[in-house]
Structure 1
Amino acid sequence: MNILTSRGLRLVAMGVLVGTTASCALPRSGPSKSEIYAGSVQKQGDAFVLEVNDYVTRATAVTPALGFSSDFRNAGQVGSDTLRPGDTLGLTIWENVDDGLLAPKGANATQLTEVQIDGAGFIFVPYAGRIKAAGNSPEALRRIITEKLDAQTPDPQVTVMRVAGDGATVSVMGAVSGQGVYAIERPTRTLSSMLARAGGVSVKPEIARVTVTRGAKTGTIWLKDLYENPAMDIALRPGDVILVEEDTRAFTAMGATGAQARVPFDSQTLSALEAIATVGGLNSNLADPKGVFVLRNEPAEIANTVLGRSDLQGAQRMVYVLDLTKPNGLFLARDFVIRDGDTVYVTEAPYVTWQKSLSALTGPVSTVSAFNNLTGD
């Protein structure tokens, strides 16, 4: 009887020691589930802690809405055949004689590579004189130059093409294969065709954003949406600036996950389940599948909706709780949308805390051996 009492006392003492040790600053990846709940508004904290259900997933499923306004969509296509002041032209003139007016000796063709239309709309061509170019198409200008030269050299042949200049051009920059200034020509009058002209994008199409700046107005669209929605393939206007850049959104993974890092989005939308999978899933040796938390600063409109209130003002600190062990837990995690700046935190399982406490007491000795020594066996 005394032996049993002694063993009982030892077990109680051991439990007290373990509990005391567990409450001390043992090494761990972050706060426990109870500590997070202790910081809730319901317990005089400053964050709303809310379990995720179907209603919450629908109310918080906000994804960035990108697209062009009606000002962009309703702009008509530029008449690419109409030359304008500032356009730069390339002229090639063939002469049907060995010793022509323009061609160097031994050649029968002359190239005028950068002939710019001046502010009054004119260009100068040797032996043809000052010619009105603005308002004409390249074909009409070709005929005019040919007629002017025909009186000077027999059967001249002329080609006219627009090249990049200060006229009907756009600038393409960012994550494209060929940055530069491009003329708006017949094949490149729309956004998608101009991107193709610049060699296409150099980042994953799923996370490529295309921004068009036109004067004081700016519009942005996902590249994927641009190709899937023809209405967003806007007509370009002279002076447009096109910027292609990789999506900069990211979330932070912490706690008992496969990796702890700031993780960029690799698609337009990302669920909590996909976010966990992106960092290697839950750490099977540490994680508590009942303690998956998503921390976010939620706009007041959404916070009021999910909490059933109307009095909240400004962004609210929200902690959304996912329990993957529930019958529909994985479905909820699959449907819950992760947003830019979110923190996905997974708590450690209670068993892990207990194990750490035992290890702190017993040192390098195994838990079983330590238990036997304490109980006198």
Structure 2
Amino acid sequence: MTFIPSRWARPVALIAALCAVSSCAVLPRSGPTKREIYAGSVQREGDAFVVAINDRVTRATAVIPALGFSEQFLRAGPVGSDVIRPGDTLSLTIWENVDEGLLASEGVNYTSLSAVQVDGAGFIFVPYAGRIRAAGNSPEAIRRIITEKLADQTPDPQVEVVREAGDGASVTLIGAIGGSGVYPIERPTLRLSGMLAAAGGISVAPESALITVVRGNQRSTIWFQDLFDDPRYDIALRNGDRILLEEDTRSFTVLGAAGTQSVIDFESQTLSGIEAIAQAGGLRANSADPTGVFVFRNEAEEIAEQVLGRSDLTGAQRMVYVLDLTQPNGMFMARDFLIRDGDLLYVTEAPFTQWDKTIAALTGSLGSVNSLTSLGE
């Protein structure tokens, strides 16, 4: 085997190493460079609008899905806790002012009728009084009706009507709550907050809890915290309401030269750009480019038109928002810009990072060169 003369070995090997490194299409990196992202903009015949974040852009994109109860929920007043409904259970006690009454046994002047259930049509049956309309009446009204019905058959009857805890008016609670189940609407649970407390409270962090109330074909959702911040949201409940407690499922993705690369859940109702960066572990001090922090988003047509000052767009648009944290107000822009569900936060690497990788690749190649030339000598 013939080796290259030692005086030519290193120059030739160096040239070979440079050619090998320069022939590599892309050195190892975390994603596209800032220049490559700009190259894909609509302004350069790409398919995404790249927009620098400023006060106007911040205002136009500050769109948060509105949560709150509809007017139908807010206007509903509390139901009477003593109003009888189909399915309720009543206890009746009837006293008669005679030795041998209509209902009482011999030697007893009263009769107890327990667990008298209001049927689906809203009626109960009382011997000698017949079918009586109970639904929609209070126990006092039912007492008067029974008394009048029996007065013609037994002298001076005395009647007591007590509503027991029945299943006539109830709501269903499911999800992230202490005790899922069906709960009756009673005096302490006429409103939403009382019902949640009776069910054991929520089992997730209050700041990320959502409450959805379904009533017939109506559906409204609020933040749990809003229930206590705004007394109007402590709505009166109705028979058949379904209440769902769930944790906020919004998230955003972080890639590039940030402290972590993952999908991160929202920790509050609103999340700013600077908070998102903090949740991602900040920027990598040894590789991140603070002038190239990008937010990728599919923006609704009307918002995209406001951001771009145009009126000729059709459908959702691919938008890439740029944060430059080195600008005098860059941190303020990052603080005011809102992150939304599904956003991609991408931090580019600083240019010198690629240079370092090139040098590292060359250093490794030259180390092999030295080994090679040592063998040739």
* TM-score (normalizing by structure 2): 0.79
Identity %: 61
Please state if 1:74 is matched with 2:75.
yes
The verdict on how the C-alpha distance between 1:250 and 1:185 changes in structure 2, with shifts beyond 3 A counting, is same
Cα offset, 1:171, TM superposition: 1.1
Q: In 1, are the aligned partners of 2:21 and 2:362 still within 8 Å (CA)? A: no
Which residue of structure 2 aligns with residue 340 of structure 1?
Answer: 341
Give unpaired runs (5+ residues) of structure 2: 1-10, 96-102, 105-111
Which residue of structure 2 aligns with residue 20 of structure 1?
Answer: 22
The worse-fitting range, judged by mean Cα deviation, of 337-346 and 75-84 is 75-84
Equivalent runs, 1:239-254 vs 2, <5 Å: 239-254=240-255
Please state if 1:176 is matched with 2:189.
no
Cα offset, 1:81, TM superposition: 1.4
Query: In 1, Cα distance between the equivalents of 2:260 and 2:92?
Result: 62
Match of 2:221, SS? strand
Query: In 1, Cα distance between the equivalents of 2:335 and 2:160?
Result: 67
Query: In 2, Cα distance between the equivalents of 1:116 and 1:34?
Result: 76
Superposed CA RMSD in Å reads 3.5
Q: In 2, are the aligned partners of 1:33 and 1:291 still within 8 Å (CA)? A: yes
Equivalent runs, 1:1-377 vs 2, <5 Å: 20=22, 24-86=25-87, 88-89=88-89, 91=91, 115-123=116-124, 132-138=133-139, 159-163=162-166, 165=167, 167-363=168-364
Query: In 2, Cα distance between the equivalents of 1:263 and 1:90?
Result: 54
Cα offset, 1:118, TM superposition: 0.3
Q: Which runs of 4+ in 1 moved over 2 A?
A: 12-21, 88-93, 119-148, 155-163
The verdict on how the C-alpha distance between 1:123 and 1:277 changes in structure 2, with shifts beyond 3 A counting, is same
Size of the alignment, in residue pairs? 341
Cα offset, 1:336, TM superposition: 0.6
Cα offset, 1:69, TM superposition: 1.6
The verdict on how the C-alpha distance between 1:126 and 1:30 changes in structure 2, with shifts beyond 3 A counting, is farther
Q: Which of these two proteins has the greater Rg computed from alpha carbons?
A: 2
Match of 2:43, SS? helix
Cα offset, 1:275, TM superposition: 0.7
Letter in 1 for 2:118: I
Match of 2:57, SS? helix
Which residue of structure 2 aligns with residue 105 of structure 1?
Answer: none
Cα offset, 1:128, TM superposition: 9.8
Cα offset, 1:68, TM superposition: 1.5
Q: In 2, are the aligned partners of 1:171 and 1:182 still within 8 Å (CA)? A: yes
Deviations 1:91-140 (A, max 9, x none): 598x9xxxxx99xxxxxxx995x653102323468999876532332466
The verdict on how the C-alpha distance between 1:133 and 1:311 changes in structure 2, with shifts beyond 3 A counting, is same
* TM-score (normalizing by structure 1): 0.79
Query: In 1, Cα distance between the equivalents of 2:113 and 2:290?
Result: 73
Letter in 2 for 1:45: G
Cα offset, 1:146, TM superposition: 11
Match of 1:35, SS? helix
Deviations 1:139-169 (A, max 9, x none): 6657989999xx9xxx998753233x2x221
